[in-house]
Amino acid sequence: MPTIDIEQTRNQARALLDSRIESVTNLVKTRQRITDLREQLAEAERDDKRAYVRATKDGWSPDELKKLGLESGAAAARRRKTATAKPETDSSPSSDRGLRGAE
């Protein structure tokens, strides 16, 4: 039986672990970036809502703002959500189970 070099084996194992640690580190950084961007978006949406309310308090009607392309952020979000929603083509119980299992 050939002699096993423990240091070489440790170095190989360490290299494999380092690669795995690097990939999970990249995953954590990416997830944190998503979280940060969602927080920034939420803050921007709050600012938008305050600005819209301020504009209406300053005398602009919702119809006037809409004509200027500045409708309420909530209305625009509802329209975007409706427009991007995909109609279900298969409502069988087996397809629903598969989707829930994938989440």
Per-residue pLDDT of the chain (103 residues; tens, 9 = 90+): 678 899 999 999 999 999 999 999 999 999 999 999 999 999 999 999 999 999 999 999 999 999 999 998 876 676 667 777 766 655 555 544 444 444 4
Q: Do residues 100 and 94 touch, judged by C-beta distance below 8 A?
A: no
Residue 4: predicted pLDDT: 87
| DSSP class of 89 | S
Q: Do residues 73 and 49 touch, judged by C-beta distance below 8 A?
A: yes
Q: Locate the DSSP E strands across 13-103.
A: none
* Residue type at position 34: I
